[in-house]
Amino acid sequence: MLIITRRPGERIMLGDDITIHVMEIVGNSARVGIEAPKSLPVYREEIWAAVKEENEASARAEADSMPRPAPDAGARV
């Protein structure tokens, strides 16, 4: 992992399109601003990890645990 020390007001560039602003440090919290292309989703890590875990758990469902698709299911929306 790359480790960089930054002071409030300083920034980090990830490539040309993503800017991380270190805005202020209050007590043990850092306020961080992120400028990224709007197509790029930005998540708090703990939310991302919890959703990933739920998605993985959902994807472990076996075929017969839920109603089966109809034979022509792929033709319908």
Partner 1 sequence: MPLTIDTTRFGPLEIEGEAVIEFPAGLIGLGGSRYALLANDEGAAIVWLQSIDDPSLALPVANPWQFFTDYEVKLSDSEAKRIGVTDPAAADVYVTVRATQPVEDCTANLRAPIVVSAGRGWQVINEADNAPMRAPLFANVAQPATAESAA
List residues binding partner 1 (CB under 8 A).
Answer: 38-43, 47-63, 65-70, 72-77
**DSSP code at position 1:** -
Which residue, 5 or 56, has its beta carbon nearer to partner 1? 56
Which residue, 5 or 58, has its beta carbon nearer to partner 1? 58
- How many angstroms separate the first and last alpha carbons of the chain? 45
Number of H helices, E strands in the chain: 1, 3
For 15, list phi and psi in degrees, rounded to 5: 60, -155
Min dist CB 51 to partner 1, Å, is 4
Which residue, 27 or 45, has its beta carbon nearer to partner 1? 45
